[in-house]
Amino acid sequence: MNPGIGLGMIRNLVQRLVAPIDLPLMVIAGLLLLLAVGVMGSASPERLNAQLLNVAVALVVMRFMAQVPPQRLMHLAVPVYLVGILLLIAVALFGDVSKGARRWLNLGFMRAQPSELMKIAMPLLLAWFFQKREAMPRLRDYGIAAVLLLLPVALIARQPDLGTAILVLAAGFYVIFFAGLSWKILVGMAVAAAAAAPLAWNLLHDYQRNRIITLFDPEKDPLGKGFHIIQSTIAIGSGGIFGKGWRAGTQAQLEFIPERHTDFIFAVFSEEFGLFGNLLLLGLYAMLIGRGLMIAANAATLFSRLLAGAVTMIFFTYAFVNMGMVSGILPVVGVPLPLVSYGGTALVTLFIGIGILMSIHGNRMLVQK
Amino acid sequence: MEFKNPQEELERFRSRLAVAGGFVLVCFTLLFIRFVWLQIVQHDYYQTRAEDNRISLVPIVPNRGLIVDRNGEVLARNYSAYTLEITPSKTRDLEQVIDGLAGIIDIQPKDRKRFRKLLEESRNFESLPIRTRLTDEEVARFIAHRYRFPGVDIKARLFRQYPGGAFASHMLGYIGRVNDRDLEKIEEKEQDANYRGTEHFGKTGLEQHYEFDLHGGTGFEQVEVDAGGRAVRTLARTAPVAGNNLTLTVDAELQRIAELAFGDRRGALVAIEPSTGGILALVAVPNYDPNLFVDGIDTQNWRELNESPDKPMVNRALNGAYPPGSTFKPFMALGALTLGKRRAEQVISDPGFFNFGGHHFRDDKKGGHGMVDMYKSIVQSCDTYYYMLANDMGIDNISSFMGQLGLGSRTGIDIDGESEGVLPSQEWKRKRFKKPEQQKWYAGETISIGIGQGYNAYTPIQLAQATAIVANKGVVFRPHLVKFITDTRTGKRTEVEPKPTRDLGLKLEHIDVIRNAMIGVNKEGTGARAFAGAEYVSAGKTGTAQVYSLKGAEYKAGGVKKELRDHALFIAFAPAEDPKIALAILVENGGFGAQAAAPIARLVLDYYLLGKRPKAPAQPDEAAVEEDEE
């Protein structure tokens, strides 16, 4: 066999494989993953291999999503949303209880967490919805959009899973926001939300209320509810400007940081790499978000724009809520640090998002032409 | 319907994107400010918090000092054993943890009960033993499951052990877990830091009195700990300094022979070396096993010890106050000589009673002892002689002289909580009673004081001390159990009592009179049977103290309930010319002193002076009944 031909074939194959992938997004995500591998090697080396496998699966999914054209996604929007809602209802009725929350659905062959699906299905549906309204969306349309959004959010919040509910709510809200809901109404909603806060307080579960109380005074219960926050802020604060060095964080290595490979992995990172590390991480997220917003700005259709904008902002929400809670300025809700925390589900969801962004970017000219 | 303008729509969308981008920047800036606050501004504070988290100062409890007798026999020591301990503050659900532990290690209901009791008494953050003395197998099994039990750990601890069991328990005392009262003492001595980590404290006896000598210096280990409080590695270490060892003046073998001599009778024996005040034996029986208290005593044993009618927890040698009976007579005689109230050769006539204000104080011998001088009054234990003497001396003279001999006041022995006893005087009665008619001293009350009855009540150690003072010709030493304290680090010995406390200035010829009379007691008097064939010359005096007033009826030992039978007493010193040992013996409800107490003295003196070991406990000498006294 002629090696030249073989080489050419391989080159061709690689080109076809790589073609849908957006280089800047891939580089930024790759740097974040590299960083994630490093932190995981410190926080929980025994989980490194499993996480590498998760990364591989997520990258394959991303590559797959990157070649699915936005038009196809539009067709999927309604069925995916409906399946999502049905599964959420099924969870509410037959779900498995784990750690006091009914989040998992046992499908026989696997345990699925339908709420995770809604993080993508929600912006997908709403983007589809606004695309369908050819005309300027009217107030009634926003009303319908709000109902479509609040239904799954309510179901998830009931499980209870405040973290995911907030993420889904945010994802849907971003679509509505980008669709152009007037500022008057936005401000009005903000005022109404502030007014309704005491009412919402009453609707919260005890443990959710405790998390908020703990936020304001973690020292009140240093061995109980406040322990997570106290230990993670100690970890971050003691990290200083340059950090204690990889695998040299006493808070992390001596297991003072709870959930240190999942939701609180940022504390491990921050302790070992200090303010400079934090700056690097913030920078990478900002670049990822910047690139995503750029893709949204140049997207071909309203659907693509809304979807790209919302998906990008999901990354922001993850990053901000997670770092905010670990550093003690937001209540503790179960939100992982995007692309860094251990766990396959969130990683796959996020890379589906990146894949969608890449697809939207790849298809930016097609319609305009 | 308003149709959309694609360009306008795009512009608006992009402006919304810009707003979103701005929002992202604001939020990230907020985070950055928070990081600057935590990592630069508050860095030192959090650095310290992290260090505090990480580094734990773990006290290393020193080895408690040993207690050995004068020949080096170990009476209290330590041994190392593994305990399974729970730190309650680090466990969520204690019951669940204990149930889980019970699955791999044998935990009895009594262990749980004891743990609960400890939990109630515990200071906040200490770890408490749920099981002590684990076997190697149990240790291995727990370590394999340790990850399941945060806040639970195996610790190697030193346990106090009293190898002799109940032997000498009233002298040694015991240690138990530190309680609030002990903490106050620790604070008073400003030993708080040194007692960090210490869980035991001397509760009675020598363990209590010499607590701060025996304890030693606590060492410290700086260890890195994980969130579960387990030590990961040691950073620095200051070794503990073992507690000082106590070497006693006590001869353990003598003590053992004396304890055995009592058999199952109740009583006390105190033997003192007159020339030093060093205690050779301090017996109080029945006694108890101090080992029961070390881990915390269980309820059943505690109840048995406390509710027993024999009161084994009472240290009779120091806390039992008994009328001295006729053992009081030599001291009375010495007082009379010293105060010039009698001469030794002065003779009185004894008709068998002493008439005072129409009341007959009876002598025990019908018809009396005839013509009685001081020698005969002691050898034959003539009551009438002392009725008259007491009347002639008066209560205030008696009490001031007896006070000099140490009767009615604490001897100052190195065991805490000694009783004072009662030295009757006009002043004592004024203080003792409330009603004015009871506060007055009646001259008639003085009469029975003369024969060691009435209000008289002294502890066995007071009687032994008074005997030792006479034997030592009036030179007083404080009775003490510890000969010297050895600093385990330097080996330096500190003598506890090298010097006499005072000299009573008694006249030698007066002491000679008393000593000769007491030699007579053991040669031809009430102690003669017990000391028949002795290879040394001893001086003694028997005594029988009434527990129950017979109101004139004839006393018959067999006819009275055991608890109402008389107490038997005996005091002695030997060899008479150069006393090496002085002692006082009390047998509760033992009957006659000659019969119950003197034979014990013979066994003790035979061993101490000749090295002779008895074959069996001293048997009450029934034959002595016929030659009874009083």
Whether the ω angle into residue B286 lies within 30 degrees of 0, i.e. cis, is: yes
Distance (Å) from the C-alpha of residue B155 to the closest C-alpha of chain A?
A: 21
Residue A333 covered by a domain:
yes
Report CA torsion sign: A20, A23, A27, A32. negative
Those residues with Cβ within 8 angstroms of residue B364's Cβ, 6 or more apart along the chain or in another chain? B381, B383, B628, B629, B630
- Give the number of beta-carbon pairs within 8 Å between A and B: 134
Q: Specify whether the CB–CB gap between B328 and B543 falls below 8 A.
A: yes
Which chain B residues have a beta carbon less than 8 Å from that of A316?
Answer: 24, 27
Which one of A174, A237, A293 has the shortest CB-CB distance to B39? A237
Q: Specify whether the CB–CB gap between B504 and B474 falls below 8 A.
A: yes
Across chain A, mean pLDDT equals 87
Q: Specify whether the CB–CB gap between A138 and A122 falls below 8 A.
A: no
Token representation of residue A187: 């401000």
Question: Who has greater pLDDT, A122 or B112?
Answer: A122
Which one of B9, B16, B31 has the shortest CB-CB distance to A177? B16
Question: Who has greater pLDDT, B571 or B489?
Answer: B571
Q: Specify whether the CB–CB gap between B193 and B223 falls below 8 A.
A: no
Residue A313 covered by a domain:
yes
Which chain B residues have a beta carbon less than 8 Å from that of A278?
Answer: 31-32, 35, 39
Per the listing, tokens 């993850």 go with A318
Which chain A residue has the Cα nearest residue B232?
A254
For B349, phi then psi, to 5°, come to -105, 130
Residue A1 covered by a domain:
no
For A303, other C-beta atoms within 10 Å of its C-beta total 23
Residue A34 covered by a domain:
yes
Query: B46 pLDDT band (50/70/90 cuts)?
Result: very high
- Over 70: is that where the pLDDT of B27 sits? yes
Residue A92 covered by a domain:
yes
How big is the CA angle at B310 (ends B306 and B315), to the nearest 5 degrees? 75
What is residue A111's predicted lDDT score, i.e. its pLDDT?
60
Mean pLDDT of B376-402: 94
d(CA B376, CA B397): 23
What is residue B629's predicted lDDT score, i.e. its pLDDT?
44
d(CA B364, CA B361): 10
Which chain A residue has the Cα nearest residue B34?
A327
Which chain B residue has the Cα nearest residue A239?
B39
Instruction: Please state the length of chain A.
Output: 369
Which chain A residues have a beta carbon less than 8 Å from that of B38?
Answer: 233, 236-237, 327
Which chain B residues have a beta carbon less than 8 Å from that of A174?
Answer: 20
d(CA B282, CA B219): 35
Q: What is the pLDDT of residues A274-320, one digit of tens each?
A: 999 999 999 999 999 999 999 999 998 999 999 999 999 999 999 99
* Alpha helices (H) in A19-69, listed in sequence order: 23-43, 48-66
Contact state of A296 with B17 under an 8 Å Cβ cutoff: yes
DSSP states of B123-162 as a string? -TT--EEEE-S--HHHHHHHHHHGGG-TTEEEEEEEEEE-
* Alpha helices (H) in B350-420, listed in sequence order: 374-379, 383-393, 395-404
**Domains of chain B and CATH, by start:** 59-227+238-248 (3.90.1310.10), 252-627 (3.40.710.10)
Interface mutation vs chain B, best among A234, A289, A291, most B CBs within 10 Å = A234
Q: Nearest Cα to B360, choosing from B444, B245, B242?
A: B444
Domain span at A166: 23-362
Contact state of A134 with B227 under an 8 Å Cβ cutoff: no
Mean pLDDT of B47-62: 84
Which chain B residue has the Cα nearest residue A316?
B24
Contact state of B38 with A236 under an 8 Å Cβ cutoff: yes
- Which of A39-48, B112-121, B374-383, B440-449 shows the lowest per-residue confidence on average (mean pLDDT)? B112-121
Cα-trace Rg, chain A: 21
Q: Nearest Cα to B48, choosing from A237, A115, A104?
A: A237
Token representation of residue A314: 């999901």
Whether the ω angle into residue B6 lies within 30 degrees of 0, i.e. cis, is: no
Indicate the number of domains in chain A: 1
Query: B475 pLDDT band (50/70/90 cuts)?
Result: very high
Q: What is the pLDDT of residues B309-335, one digit of tens each?
A: 889 999 999 999 999 999 999 999 999
Q: Specify whether the CB–CB gap between A267 and A236 falls below 8 A.
A: yes
Residue A11 covered by a domain:
no
Residue A338 covered by a domain:
yes
* Alpha helices (H) in B265-394, listed in sequence order: 291-294, 299-307, 316-319, 329-338, 374-379, 383-393
Q: Specify whether the CB–CB gap between B398 and B391 falls below 8 A.
A: no
First and final C-alpha spacing in chain A: 43
Question: Who has greater pLDDT, A24 or B594?
Answer: A24
B interface residues, A as partner, C-beta within 8 Å = 1-4, 9, 12-14, 16-17, 20-21, 24-25, 27-28, 30-32, 34-36, 38-40, 42-43, 45-47, 49-51, 53-54, 89, 224-228, 232
Query: A100 pLDDT band (50/70/90 cuts)?
Result: low
Residue A13 covered by a domain:
no
Which one of B2, B24, B27 has the shortest CB-CB distance to A136? B2
